[in-house]
Structure 1
Amino acid sequence: MTNVFGATSTTEEVLSGIDLSGKRVLVTGVSAGLGVETARALVAHGAKVVGAARDLAKAEGATAIVRAETANGGSLDLIALDLASLASVRACADALLADGRLFDVVIANAGVMAAPFGHTADGFETQFGTNHLGHFTFVNRIASLIAPGGRLVNLASSGHRFADVDLEDPNFEHTAYDPWIAYGRSKTANILFAVEFDRRHMARGVRATAVHPGGIRTELTRHLGDGALEAMVDKVNEELAAQGKSPFELKSIPQGAATSVWAGFVAAADEVGGLYCDNCQVATVTENPASRISEGVRAYALDAERAKALWNKSEEMIDERF
């Protein structure tokens, strides 16, 4: 298909003229930022959205705007899901399985970034445990609820450039902890999970993709100190200026959520399946180390054998097979 969208496209521009009536969508992380905007855009175009959040009271308040903009039969229901607790993950999945209704698209949006060293309820390093293992367990448990022709969209990040996954020491038991390396590992894992999920489910018409929303000021930056985000942008722009390139600009939240809805509902399934997207298009593979925040995807994040190895390691860590 011809791509007419880019870095500045918004959710409304991407979904212009698209009626999602009859579509059922699951979005994790609907208590702030991209999750709320994704849900808002979908219900405004008629989709029935199930929004998952750790703090339901917070999500209720944050999604008032979502309910205010429902149209064409669109709706929003909330469910409790704490990705840092496998007990919560399994309970939420069990409830959805008992309900039995299918989803057309699952958008694994929730996550944490650059968190201080810590562990989930099950003893996993916080970022790998929350961003990857929580979603890995949850999505695989409800995989049968993704309808034939449906899709999984994993929210990844250009931050995957900070690090490949470490299958020997995923919990930093023998490695000095760095919050950005940990974030990079978890985001690479999000991409590799999409690669292997796509391979396993494409025969029944279900495809998976990973997306980078762009640099955005949301609650995801809550672990950064005052001025830290601005300092990062300044450093990146120094690098870009040295390369003779245009400066990097933060996106608005509607611009950030655009690639998620584009990959889920607009792009052709065969165009995005098993791949990584940014700026409402499929990203190119690049090994340019000059700037770790610019567009493109590292080859290691799309490596099929690496994806299989991560899947096996993840099953071992959570003691569950899919």
Structure 2
Amino acid sequence: MTQFHAKSTTDDVLASVDLTGKRILVTGVSAGLGVETARSLAAHGADVVGAARDLAKAEGATAEVREAAAAGGGSFELIELDLASLASVRAAADKLVADGRTFDVIITNAGVMAAPFGKTVDGFETQFGTNHLGHFTFVNRIASLIKEGGRLVSLASSGHRFSNVDLDDPNFDRGDYDPWIAYGRAKTANILFAVEFDRRHKDRGIRGVALHPGGIHTELGRHLSPGDLEALVERINAAAKESGAETFEFKSIPQGAATSVWAAVVANADAVGGRYCEDCHVADLVEGEGVRAGVRAYALDAETAKALWAKSEEMVGERF
């Protein structure tokens, strides 16, 4: 089997893959990774459903996806989904359930990063509410549509190392808000959600996998000034130098989306189920400061994953 790596692109990963007849849902298709993920899948014959908060923006951003679908024998359609509003999340899920068509893969790609303190429509801290609770509710409401042998691909981040989840104070009600800690908590939650989803659904042959796409210049960084980004990269590289790790390099968008499509349709399901992946492979468990690669043990902890699920149900007022 071909070994892919950090510099592999979506086209490399899908080079010999025919996705005709596969139906795949991708959230966050109005920019960056979401657009490229949808494009590459549709180009190989998949029927892709893209979800976005701003349909007009997504319509413009996905012209290349429609072209790729037409050329590759796939199809592309859009649905409206605002992850920061449970009413929107439920409406989108209800429409898909009423429609009844099944999915082979769901890729939860949408998200926000290092946002200033704020709250979603439902009063959740913005990053935890959008990145985790919105997807948690949406995916669980449409879980019955995932075919046997299907997958949930949850986009997380190496930023999970900034913090474990805090189930006692998920909304920063104590007032100690830090945008990077909040991002870390939300991204750890994205991994833990995949872990528990995998445990609950693997009897049906449905697997959950989380991944880090890599550092990429996308709209995800909209809350950062150029100075913030430079400072962050400097900090990362100083720590890397100390620990003997490689210095940080940005990926291109096709390189960043490669791990998503690899985990979705190329990787062996048993190899990636319940795991965290990066650079088109399953990541190693790591501890220690300055280490960017790998996954922290707390992000894969089965008991924390169960506790997060229960807390999330309590917060959104639904049992799954």
TM-score range, shorter chain: over 0.9
Q: How many Å separate the matches in 2 of 1:236 and 1:203?
A: 40
TM-score, reference length from structure 1: 0.97
Contact 1:209/1:275 (<8 A) preserved: yes
Percent identity (aligned): 72
One-letter identity of the residue aligned with 2:306: K
Counterparts in 2 of 1:95 and 1:308: CA distance versus 1, 3 Å: same
The CA distance in 2 between the partners of 1:189 and 1:231, in whole Å, is: 26
One of 297, 300, 303 as aligned partner of 1:299: 297
Give the residue type in structure 1 aligned to 2:268: A
Any conservation in 1 of the 2:236–2:290 contact (CA below 8 Å)? no
Distance 1:233 1:274 in 2: 30
Matches within 5 A, 1:155-304: 155-291=155-291, 294-304=292-302
* Alpha-carbon distance between aligned partners in 2 of 1:175 and 1:9, rounded to the nearest angstrom: 42
1: CA distance, partners of 2:223 / 2:122? 22
Aligned to 1:90: 90
For 1:299 and 1:202, locate their aligned partners in 2 and report how far apart those are by CA, in whole Å: 21
3-state SS of paired residue (1:277): strand
Classify the secondary structure of the residue corresponding to 1:69. Answer: helix
Q: How many residue pairs are counted as aligned between the two chains?
A: 319
> How far apart, in 1, do the equivalents of 2:232 and 2:2 lie?
30
Partners of 2:237 and 2:310 lie apart in 1 by 39
The 5-angstrom pairing of residues 30-109 of structure 1 reads 30-70=29-69, 71-109=71-109
The residue number in structure 1 matching 2:116 is 116
Shift in Å, 1:290: 2.1
Corresponding residue number in structure 1 for 2:316: 318
Cα shift at 1:73: 2.0
Structure 1 residue ranges without an equivalent (≥5): none
Asked whether the 8 Å contact 1:3–1:281 carries over to 2, the reply is no
Tell me, which stretches of 5 or more residues in structure 2 are unaligned? none
What is the rounded CA distance, in whole Å, between the counterparts of 2:4 and 2:227 in structure 1? 31
- 2:21 matches 1:22: yes
Distance 2:245 2:179 in 1: 28
Q: TM-score, normalised by structure 2?
A: 0.98
* Residue type of the alignment partner of 2:213: P
Aligned mates of 1:136, 1:240 — CA distance in 2: 33
Look up the match of 2:8. Answer: 9
Check the 8 A contact 2:5/2:279 in 1, yes or no.
yes
1:216-242, CA deviations, whole angstroms, 9 ceiling, x for partnerless residues?
Answer: 010000001122212211221222223
1:84 maps to a residue whose letter is A
Q: Residue 114 of structure 1 contacts residue 180 of structure 1 at CA under 8 Å; is this kept in 2? A: yes
1:114-151: CA deviations, max 9, x gaps?
A: 00000000000000000000000000000000000000
Can you list the C-alpha shifts for 1:279-313, whole angstroms capped at 9, x where unaligned?
0000000012224xx11000000000000000000
Q: Which amino acid aligns with 2:86?
A: L
Q: Deviations over 1:58-96 (max 9, x none)?
A: 000000111122234211100000000000000000000
Shift of 1:28: 0.2
Instruction: Say if 1:193 and 1:307, in contact at 8 Å, map to a contact too.
Output: yes
Partner Cα distance (1:15, 1:123) in 2: 41
Q: What one-letter code is carried by the residue in structure 2 that aligns with 1:201?
A: H
Counterpart AA for 2:34: G
Query: What code does the residue aligned with 1:37 have?
Result: E
Q: CA offset at residue 246 of structure 1?
A: 2.9
The answer to whether the 8 Å contact 1:83/1:131 transfers is yes
Pick which of 240-249 and 174-183 moved more: 240-249
In structure 1, how many angstroms separate the alpha carbons of the residues matched to 2:115 and 2:54? 18
Q: CA deviation at 1:175?
A: 4.3
- Structure 1 SS opposite 2:226: coil
Alpha carbons 1:81, 1:92 under 8 Å: kept: yes
1:227 counterpart SS class: helix
